[in-house]
Structures are given as structure tokens and as C-alpha cells.
Structure 1
Amino acid sequence: MTLVVFDMDRTLLNAQSQISRYTQETLRLMRQADIDYTIATGRTLQAALQPLDDNGFNRSMVLKNGAVIWEPSERSYSHHHLLTPSEVNDVIGIFVQSQLTPFVFSLEHGERHAVYHAPLREGYEIKLAHLFEKERELPLQSIEEMPQDAHVINVSAMGSQDAVNRVVDYVSHHPHLVAYTGIALKEQGLAWLDVHHSEGSKGNGVRHVAETAGYSEIIAFGDGDNDLSLFEVATESYAVSNADDELKELATEVIGHHDEDGVAKFLRKRFDL
């Protein structure tokens, strides 16, 4: 059996963070052809569901870069890799030392996510908080309110490339941690950063889904460094033309741009839809 796995932002979604009508129709054709598909994304459940609504995403979903797996049929998480309290404290410490405001993502009761954050200092941090709270429906609270036994999925931030690089260097010396980063606002020289437990990768998450459901073939689509582990476990891997160079080098093939229905156009040819 074949499972098609999509990254969301800058891959399946267009520049407006939506599934285009052409891609919606392609997904409908895939369902008609009994081709299973799902997502592997850095988004939380709340943030992922809105653009996917009514497009047949009913298979196990790999969320937060593989830290958790959501089962739509059971409406619960089946698998997770969380940061330990000591790891959380260490990561927050290096963020603060590097002049980065930590946003701590947790898994709350009722299968909901929340975000705890330190005081916001920059305008872009305020905009980021607004994105989490309003657009992605994540309740924000002061980091001082975070319980000592919080179930922390990851710690995120946005800041200068130098500050982000300091954290990436720190993480590289701690085998139980992994850091993902990329360009956030190029004109301002800002990068985004996510730190997770090293076992919570897209590759490990998708491998778990495939083994559990009996898929023998994985066809993956992505654009960034958090998709590297996904491509490593895939039978076939396709990078959109706007992808990072490192991912393109690992890909089976480079396909069209995410804002020009590159994934959908490729799928129609690949499966003769």
C-alpha cells in the first residue's frame, strides 16, 4: 500500500496558506482512486485542521514535526515525544542567553495545545504571538503560569540569525534535542527556530504511521530542513522548486512551485489522475 505524505506550509498550501481549488480537486481525484494521503507538519492540531477542512484528511496526522501523532478517527493522540522538564529548563535558558523570547508549546488536557511565552520585546514577537493566538487558535499565557509538570512539545522563537545559530550550536551538543530553523522575514534578517526532542522527527512519525497501518511505500513532499528526516524514510521524495537547496539534493526530483500547484500537478501525472 502507498501513503502520500505532504508538508503543509510552502508545499501543499499556497502563499495564502490555503489549499487551492486545483489542489482540492486533485485530492478529490486521489480519494476516488483510493490513494491514501496525510500530512507531516510543524503545525499544531488546531493550526493544521483549518486549511485541511473538507479535503479528506482522515489518516493519522504527524504534527509538530513528529512530536505527536493525531488519530482523526479516535480524536486523540496515539504517539508523542515530549521534552523532559530538565530539557525544557535548559532550552529556555539558552534562548534567554541568546536574546530570544521563548514560546513554549504544550499539550493540555482535552487534547488541546497552549503556548506559554516570556515578555514580548520586539514588534515581530507581538505579531508572532498574534499569529499563534488569533490565526492558529492557540491560547497564550505567561511563561510564569506554566505548570512544573507541563507536557512540552517544543520551544520556538524568532530572532536574528546569529542568535538562532547560537541555539543551534548548543542543541548540536545535546543528542536528545534537535533544532529546525529557516528564514522568517528575509528583509529584516530574521529566522525562525523550533527545538524538539530528537525522537520527535517527521521521519520517525511517518515511519511509525506506515508500520502501524501496513504501508510499504511512502511518497513524500516537502520544502525545508524539518523535511530531511521525512525524505530519508520515503520511498520517493519530491521537493518543491521553492525548497531549501539541501532538501533538493536529497529529493528524488524537484517539482513545481508551491504557489503554482506544483504538488497537485505532479500528482496528476504521477498517478494518471
Structure 2
Amino acid sequence: MTTLYVSDLDGTLLTRNHEISPFSAGVIQDLIDNHIHFTYATARSFASAQAVTAGLRTRLPVIVNNGAFIMDPATGVPLFSAYFQQEEKMEVARLLARHQLFPLVYSQQEGVERVCWLTGEENEGMRYYFRQRPGDKRFQPLSSPEGLYAGDVFYFICMGERDTLLPVYEALRDHPHYQCILQQELYRTEYWCEIMPKPATKANAILKLKEKLECTRVVCFGDGLNDLPMFAVADECYAVSNAVETLKAAATGIIGANSEDGVACWLKEHAAPYIKRG
């Protein structure tokens, strides 16, 4: 049997400082170099994920933007992508406008990824997000709504208080055209409402990757609500001890926290014995 191991990044594989510890990087790189099938699935963009996993040389395609893309890590070329249809993105835009919410809008415009928003409408959650990504070339602040939804849109994020975001989540959570996640931001007080096209899930991307690699099993690691879909399709799924309780309840087992190199320790014990060293 060939197993595909898939880990979330923030709160799972990464430390609180948004980096992979030297111990975790060493253990996982040894597994990768010895042909263990390991990759990650994250809500981060490809550029952001590459930055925080700089100490890890991945060989397999990686899953980013909550499953909106499967990317070749060597070339940055999408192997799978999910975008909103024109009417879908405008329906979301109208819903957000009715509730006076001002999103970050992620799109591809003429082959370039953009993150657009209206200047003057930033809140503290958005400002924190920007501070964590200094010099990000994707950022495109706009002084008017014109152009906010240009190009091929694949992701909306609204940040703020839970009660403010809840009506949008309730309107979209069971909608046939959208994936919608509402959860508290890691290490922060504000909530994120994330809206994606229906095919954009970690689970869908993992199943595509499993088929492409001809793997027979999937083992997943996570910490948040957006990891629930991939837990549902995994043969085994492990929540780090700092995970939300809902994910722990869905897990095969609980492993050490992200601050304790939980994923790497589990892999060292359970995956490393399958290495065939020459």
C-alpha cells in the first residue's frame, strides 16, 4: 500500500511564529528524500505557503487556497484550479454589499494573482494580515469599487466580529455553488468568513492528488474547521492537541501540539519505518 500524508500548515505543521521548526523540517525532509509521499494542504496562497515552508523541499504537488488550486511546487503552474463563474462572484458581491462587508478579493488577472480591497475600509484584522505579508506583490488597494471583482475570482475573505459575519455564513453554508467557512483566526480575536467555489475543498484536491499519484491510503493532520472535509475523506486523520474541539471529535486520534512538533513526531514513529534506504 502507498500512503499519501497531507498536513495543514498554520496551527498544525507551523509554529506560532509561522515557520517550520528545524526538527520538523529535518524529519519531514528525510521522509521526502526517501520517497515517502508527503505534501501540505493550506488556506494560504502558493506564494505565502512557499515563504513559510522555505526550509522544506517538496516534490509532490501542493494544495493551496483551501483546495482552489493544486500547484506544481517546482514551476508554480496550477495542475487544478477552481474559479467562480461570473454570476456567482457577483452574487457574492451583492450579498456582501447588503451586509456592508468589505472583502479581500483574490483573483487571477492576465496571469497574475491579485488581492484587491477598497482603501479606507480596512479593519484591524485586515491590517494585521497586511503586516504579516510585507512587500506582497499581489496586494492591489483600490480607491473605488470599479475593478474590485475583475478577472477570475477564486476566493473572498471577510474579517471581523462573528456576529457581523454570521448572516453571510448562514446564507451560503448550504448553498449548492459555494463553500463557506466561518472560524476564528488563529492566535487572534477576529473571525474570518471565507467563501470559495463549491469544488474548492482540501478534500476534493486530496482525492485528485491521491488518484494522480496512485496512492491507496490517505493520512491527514490538521487543527481547524477547514480541515474537516479532508478528515472526512482520509483513512486516518489526526488532530494536533491545540486543534478545535470539533476537529478533535472527528479525528482518528490526537497528537502533540504544533509547538511540540506533533506531526513530525508522529511521522517519525509511524512513517519512517517504511523508508527503504539504499
What TM-score do you get using the length of structure 2 for normalisation? 0.89
Query: What does 1:1-273 correspond to in 2, within 5 Å?
Result: 1-110=2-111, 112-128=112-128, 130-131=130-131, 134=134, 137-142=137-142, 144-146=145-147, 150-184=151-185, 188=189, 190-272=190-272
Following the alignment from structure 1 to structure 2, what is the Cα–Cα distance between the partners of residues 192 and 149?
Answer: 22
Asked whether the 8 Å contact 2:217–2:235 carries over to 1, the reply is: yes
Following the alignment from structure 1 to structure 2, what is the Cα–Cα distance between the partners of residues 90 and 133?
Answer: 29
Shift of 1:73: 4.2
- Quick one: which amino acid aligns to residue 141 of structure 2? Q
Matched residue SS, 2:145:
helix
Q: 1:123 to 1:82 in 2, by over 3 A?
A: closer
- Quick one: which amino acid aligns to residue 16 of structure 2? A
RMSD: 2.2
- Quick one: which amino acid aligns to residue 258 of structure 2? H
Q: 1:34 to 1:139 in 2, by over 3 A?
A: same
Asked whether the 8 Å contact 1:44–1:113 carries over to 2, the reply is: no
Q: 1:107 to 1:132 in 2, by over 3 A?
A: farther
Shift of 1:212: 1.3
Q: 1:214 to 1:179 in 2, by over 3 A?
A: same
The structure where helix makes up a greater share of residues is 1
Unaligned runs of 5+ in 2: 274-278
Shift of 1:181: 2.0
Shift of 1:129: 5.3
Matched residue SS, 2:160:
strand
Unaligned runs of 5+ in 1: none
Following the alignment from structure 1 to structure 2, what is the Cα–Cα distance between the partners of residues 61 and 80?
Answer: 12
Following the alignment from structure 1 to structure 2, what is the Cα–Cα distance between the partners of residues 137 and 266?
Answer: 36
What TM-score do you get using the length of structure 1 for normalisation? 0.91
Segment drifting more, 146-155 vs 78-87: 146-155
Shift of 1:82: 0.8
Q: 1:179 to 1:56 in 2, by over 3 A?
A: same
What number of residue pairs does the alignment pair up? 271
Following the alignment from structure 2 to structure 1, what is the Cα–Cα distance between the partners of residues 135 and 235?
Answer: 34
Q: 1:136 to 1:222 in 2, by over 3 A?
A: farther
Matched residue SS, 1:134:
coil
Which residue is 2:276 aligned to?
Answer: none
Q: 1:147 to 1:173 in 2, by over 3 A?
A: same
Following the alignment from structure 1 to structure 2, what is the Cα–Cα distance between the partners of residues 37 and 145?
Answer: 42
Asked whether the 8 Å contact 1:85–1:149 carries over to 2, the reply is: no
Following the alignment from structure 1 to structure 2, what is the Cα–Cα distance between the partners of residues 213 and 266?
Answer: 23
Q: 1:221 to 1:185 in 2, by over 3 A?
A: closer
1:89-119 Cα shifts (integer Å, max 9, x gaps): 2212222322321110012334x42111123
